[in-house]
A and B are shown apart, each in its own frame.
Chain A
Amino acid sequence: MNTKTTLRITYREALKHGLREALINDDMVFLMGEDVGRYGGAFAVSKGFLEEFGEDRIMDVPLSESGFVGAGIGAALGGMRPIVEVMTVNFSLLALDQIINNASTLLHMSGGQINVPVVIRMNSGIGNQLAAQHSHSWEPFYAHVPGLKVVSVGTHEDARGMLLTALESPDPVIIFEYTSLLNMESEIPLDSGAMDIDKAKVRREGKDVSIITYGPGVYKALAAAEELNLSGIDAEVVDLRVLNPIDNETILTSVAKTHRVLIVEEAWRSVSISSEIISRIMEHAFFDLDAPVQRLCGVEVPIPYPKHLEDASIPQKEDIVNSILNMVQYD
């Protein structure tokens, strides 16, 4: 009997499926980045693509982030749909001038005449013992910039589908993918396809407390919610997904329902996405709050190399469970 409607797949494979579909769908789409071709991608996401799509569409580039991201922006201006892969998020700092001064501003500076439909993918986050320089969470940096759409791929379905929608955008989209999730397996629907890049999503409905998170926080929060469920606490999990512009509606609806919020993110605490979410809750949902908003963020140190210290530097499932037990202990 063959009634299977889901596919068991790793996060890496999900990214690969999405990328491949994008390349097949549109001849104007091409992938450029360090080691994406002959090596098959630093994280093996584009393995075999060079053979399948050829050198024109799978383009290895020199180790010059400013140069190739700029080239990608140029290609977008010229009518192409480039997917620029920046190996890990720290290297994107070298391309920050191109991204912030060109990609995000040209529409404004041309008086609305020039769109920059470039998609920039970066591998981000903590968890593979890549040490201080390769374990950054730069989501807050990019989310700060008007003119950039910033999305965070926290689930397999989004890994499979967000890229496809990003390529439809006439304006630059930054996609954060997560090193720590690459080997993780999950089920996605067989017909899984393009996913929206506008709305936050409630990943688990609950009534007692809202866990608002993104990226690697999503699966951790879901696991924590299941554990909390055993203690009779019904936690809602909101996956932000889009970090700029932030979807207020989904957040505020959840706050109005649960009246208590824990925000979970791996980025450093100060001036972070959680800072922004808390501000918005204060501005729009103050009178729905029954407790101070809490947050679990990355410890504000350079990310350590040793596994146990690395784990200790970011919120884990147990931390989420404990924080929430603490918040609801008065019930």
Chain B
Amino acid sequence: MIEFKMPSLGADMEDGTLVEWRVKSGEAVKRGDIIADVDTQKGLIEIEVFEEGTVDRLVVKEGEKVPVGTVMATIIPIGALESSRKESVQVKAVSEVKQKAKTQITTEPAKQPLKEGSIVSHKHLKISPLAKRMAVEKGIDLTTIKGSGPEGSIVKKDIELAAKTKEESHMEASEEKKEIASRGIRDAIAMAMSRSNREIPHFYLETRIDISKALEWLKETNKERELKDRLLSVVLLIKATARAIKEVPVVNAYWENGLQLKDVINIGFAVSLRKGGVVIPAIHDADQKSPAELMTLLKDLIPRARALKLRSSELSESTITLTNVGEGNVDKVFGVIYPPQVAIIGFGNIVEEAWAENGAISARPVIHVTLAADHRAIDGYLAGRFLTALKHHLQNPETL
């Protein structure tokens, strides 16, 4: 039996509120399926499952707030379904025999063979086949419904009513949830950033990069592209960062009981919310994606991040953070590291600046890049190497 626990979506997360189960007991799940919506300080998160099997029991009830690590559901691993059923029946049978033995010890030893009926759970939910089918189609959780049919059974009418109520409450709830979520984000950021400044000895490096080649390359590329396929300069920034990480992997790590290098490059991309707050979805395996693929990914990720509709893996699996919050506003941004990561890269606005090269001065589009690094994990030399690598890649856009 697999225990599905309330996941930790970041070091600062202590608990989460189960808002809605997306699966029912008996439903098959596979890796990557979204099985629940959990309200955390980082918004309403779609929680994914990483096992394959059949949902056995939903332990935590909708609306319940539980600490990280609490068993939320049990899942029967694939292939184990039959044997586990038998097992559980046997276990019950044995425990009942024991129970009987206890009570009868004063009279005579238990001799009666176990009646078949005594094994069956008395809490069997009565539901008409039609209602059951409709519940599956409409995604209604049967355990929350009170049946109005014969013998308290759940019938068609009950499902129709539940579906109607669900729809109505959904519409109200989604607005409400957003409100609560955005308040929660404030708290989460406060907690994480305080911890960061308390625990992490930050140091900062800055360099400026002549980005004219990259912009030219982008312009040429976009000329050949359909409007909707146009690339933004940010994908080059992401891609160049991923390349630089490859060369200087120490920035891509967690500090948790010492330095733990990460072998995947999941770049957390800071997305600002207009009413305040920032959400950082992970761009998984950024080094393995082309600029066009990154663009496609962002088109999916950014709107979902703004709507606070991210998946658990997108929230919890970043290995380094990139912010270009400077875009359009400011020239430089010095970030605060998101623990347990060890680095955050900040891109400023692209501005035209005087650029001296080979004894001559000209105007060039320039971007200021900063690296805030955790001095427990990284020293100045490697941090500098990283920025140099980043510069190199941004100046050779055709290789990205």
Q: Are B155 and A288 within 8 A (Cβ)?
A: no
A287 CB-CB contact with B under 8 Å: yes
Q: Is A331 an interface residue (CB 8 A)?
A: yes
Q: Judge if B211 is at the interface, Cβ distance under 8 Å.
A: no
Which residue of chain A has the shortest Cβ distance to B149 in the bound complex?
Answer: A330
Chain A's closest residue to B151 (CB) is: A292
B156 touches A287 (CB 8 A): no
B296 part of interface (Cβ distance < 8 Å) = no
CA–CA, A331 and B150, complex, Å: 10
B132 partner residues in chain A, CB cutoff 8 A: 287
A331 nearest in chain B by CB position: B157
A323 to chain B, nearest CB (A): 13
Query: Quick one: given A259-B156, A330-B155, A331-B157, are A290 and B148 in contact (CB under 8 Å)?
Result: no
The reply to whether A288 and B148 form a contact with Cβ atoms under 8 Å apart is no
Q: Write out the residue numbers on chain A whose beta carbons fall within 8 Å of the beta carbon of B130.
A: 259, 287-290
User: Distance (Å) between the CB of A281 and the closest chain B CB?
Assistant: 10
B131 at interface, CB cutoff 8 A: yes
In the bound assembly, the distance between CA atoms of A292 and B149 in angstroms comes to 11
Q: Determine the residue in chain B with the shortest Cβ distance to A282.
A: B129
Report if B25 contacts A (CB, 8 A): no
A residues in contact with B149, CB < 8 Å: 290-291, 330
Residue of A nearest to B132 (CB): A287
Cross-chain contact B133 with A330 (CB below 8 angstroms): no
Q: Quick check: A286 and B129 within 8 Å, CB to CB?
A: yes
Complex alpha-carbon distance, A290 and B196, angstroms:
59
With a CB–CB cut-off of 8 A, which chain B residues contact A287? Answer: 129-130, 132-133
Task: Kindly state the interface size class of chain B when it binds its partner.
Answer: 10 to 19
- On whether the beta carbons of B150 and A290 are closer than 8 Å, the reply is no
- Rounded to whole Å, the gap between the CB of A1 and the closest CB of chain B is 50
CB-CB under 8 A from A286, the residues of chain B are 129
User: Which A-chain residue is minimally distant from B152 (CB atoms)?
Assistant: A330
Q: Which of A288, A289, A330 contacts B150 (CB 8 A)?
A: A330
Question: What 1/0 mask marks residues of chain B from 15 to 41 whose CB sits below 8 Å from any chain A CB?
Answer: 000000000000000000000000000
Task: Give the chain B neighbours of A290 by CB distance below 8 A.
Answer: 128-131, 149, 155-156
Q: Are A289 and B128 in contact (CB under 8 A)?
A: yes
- Which residue of chain B has its CB nearest to the CB of A256? B130
Known contacts A259-B156, A331-B157, A291 near B148 by CB under 8 Å: no
Q: Is the CB of A291 within 8 A of B155?
A: yes
**Which residues of B have CB within 8 Å of A288?**
129-130
Which residues of chain B from 147 to 184 have a CB within 8 Å of any chain A CB? 148-150, 155-157
Contact of B148 among A259, A289, A292, A330 (CB under 8 A): A330
- Cβ < 8 Å to A, chain B residues 251-272: none
Q: Which residue of B lies closest to A255 (CB)?
A: B130
Which residues of the other chain, A, contact B129 by a CB distance below 8 angstroms? 286-290
Q: How near does chain A come to B347, taking the closest CB pair, in angstroms?
A: 57
Set of chain B residues within 8 Å of A292, measured between Cβ atoms: 150
Tell me the complex Cα distance, A151–B247, Å.
87
* Interface flags, A259-298, vs B, CB<8A=1, else 0: 1000000000000000000000000001111111000000
**Bound complex: CA A219 to CA B51 (Å):** 60
Q: How far is the CB of B127 from chain A (nearest CB, A)?
A: 10
Q: Render B113-151 as a binary contact track against A, CB cut-off 8 A, 1 for contact.
A: 000000000000000111111000000000000001110
CB distance from B224 to the nearest CB of A (A): 54
Alpha-carbon separation in the docked complex, A287 to B157 (Å): 15
Complex interface residues of chain A between 83 and 126 (CB less than 8 A to chain B): none
Q: Which residues of A contact B128 (CB under 8 A)?
A: 259, 289-291
CB distance from B192 to the nearest CB of A (A): 50
Chain B residues positioned under 8 Å from A330 (CB to CB): 148-150, 155, 157
Closest to A286 in B: B129
Chain A contacts of B131 at CB under 8 A?
290
Q: Please encode chain A, from 307 to 331, with 1 for each CB lying within 8 Å of some chain B CB and 0 for all others.
A: 0000000000000000000000011
Distance in Å: Cβ of A292 to nearest Cβ of chain B? 8
A286 to B132 CA separation, bound complex (whole angstroms): 11
CB distance from B61 to the nearest CB of A (A): 27
Chain B proximity of A203: nearest CB distance (Å): 24
Q: Which residues of B contact A259 (CB under 8 A)?
A: 128, 130, 156
Contacts of B148 in A (CB 8 A): 330
What would 27 A/B residue contacts be, using CB atoms closer than 8 Å? A259-B128, A259-B130, A259-B156, A286-B129, A287-B129, A287-B130, A287-B132, A287-B133, A288-B129, A288-B130, A289-B128, A289-B129, A289-B130, A290-B129, A290-B130, A290-B149, A290-B155, A290-B156, A291-B128, A291-B149, A291-B150, A291-B155, A292-B150, A330-B148, A330-B149, A330-B155, A330-B157
Closest 9 CB pairs of A and B: A290-B130, A290-B128, A287-B133, A290-B156, A287-B129, A289-B129, A286-B129, A330-B149, A290-B155
**Further pairs besides A287-B130, A290-B129: 10, Cβ < 8 Å:** A286-B129, A287-B132, A288-B130, A289-B128, A290-B128, A290-B130, A290-B156, A291-B150, A330-B155, A330-B157
